[in-house]
Amino acid sequence: MKKRIRDYGVKIGSLKTGKNNLITDVLGVKVGNLTLKMGDINTGVTAIVPHDENIFKDKLIAASHVINGFGKSVGTIQIEELGTLETPILLTNTLNVGKVSDALIEYMLRKNEDIGITTGTVNPVVFECNDGYLNRIRERKIGFKEVENCIKNAKSIFEEGAVGAGTGMSLYGFKGGIGSSSRVIELNEKEYNLGTLVLTNFGLQKDLVINGINIGRDISKDKLEESLDKGSCIIIIATDIPMSYRQLKRISKRASVGMARTGSYIGNGSGEIVIAFSTANKIRHYEKEDFLNIKIINENKIDRVFRAVAESVEESILNALVRAETLVGRDGNIRYGFIETLNSLNLNIKSE
């Protein structure tokens, strides 16, 4: 199995990680990847399934946050208005958002015969990054079959790096993709989990920072100050800590701290979108009661969660970096694997 950032002696932050150090340490959450690698086609789709039940009938409290809005996401408006999530979250490439959204709608219709007949419609949630440097993005290869298989095959243990939606993505001038991490937070003498998953496609090589060390400066061939960061990052936060929409919104804003710790300044042409959800409270679609009893965290204890988000996002990004291998893509374009580059230069990233 490919190594993760901790296997190289790099420990991020002070909080304990979850059992597998993945977003799926939050019970019920599963992740699926569908990868297409066929010559100039290097793309895919990633599904985050929030729980094991029918997500349309048992919605979760959720929030979204836009760090920088150069993106083509679907579904955030309703999440902002109602504060609930009612479908799996799908990640793909920019020009495939429409097809993946349509496929997710079809998937939900097949699972819920009441949608559009005896009840309302459904709000698909789809996010994207641009993989056009390594993928012939105009081909738009992801459709219903790929989306259905991705969701159906979602598991608690999943691959990172150049897989799923991350297949054709770049990170700090190297190969990027999917990365994940988790943290454990003790509240009322009970352990809770918070996990993150990132789709990384951002950063200038010279800006790369690992555990406070600007390693990118030593290995970058791009010394031009006028270089621009036009990439993007999608960040998914899951937790089993009881939280309100407002509290999930607050922790979403801390995701930018994790990005900044790796060297990102979040450029003008970038799209950084965060979605956070809690599995602790379910909002039933066919609820008959006029009032709901919902537990939320004491605001005076939320600093621990803020720290967990920052640490987990930082580590997720670095996991995406070290797990992705060199890929020759569209028209011979190449993104080299970070670890392969270090090995060729006889460098290491072990923390002191």
Which is the catalytic residue, given 232, 244, 256, 278?
232
String of b and e for 26-37 (b: at least 16 CB within 10 Å)?
beebbbbbbbbb
Pick from 23, 29, 63, 60: which is nearest to 248 by CA? 63
For residues 313 and 305, is the Cβ–Cβ distance under 8 A? no
Of how many residues is the chain composed? 352
- Residue 252 designated active-site: no
SS3 at position 76: helix
220 is a catalytic site residue: no
The residues that bridge with 84 in the sheet, in sequence order, are 61
Listed in sequence order, the residues at least 6 apart from 80 whose beta carbon sits closer than 8 Å to its beta carbon are: 63, 64
DSSP category for residue 45: E
Residue of 222, 176, 216 lying closest to 199 (CA atoms) = 176
Set 270, 278, 312, 316: catalytic member: 270
Extract the tokens encoding 170.
Answer: 């770049």
Measured CA to CA, the distance from residue 33 to residue 159 in angstroms comes to 8
Amino acid at position 17, single letter: T
Report the DSSP beta bridge partners of residue 236: 197, 275
272 an active-site residue? yes
Catalytic member of 272, 311, 314, 315: 272
Which residues are catalytically annotated?
232, 270, 272
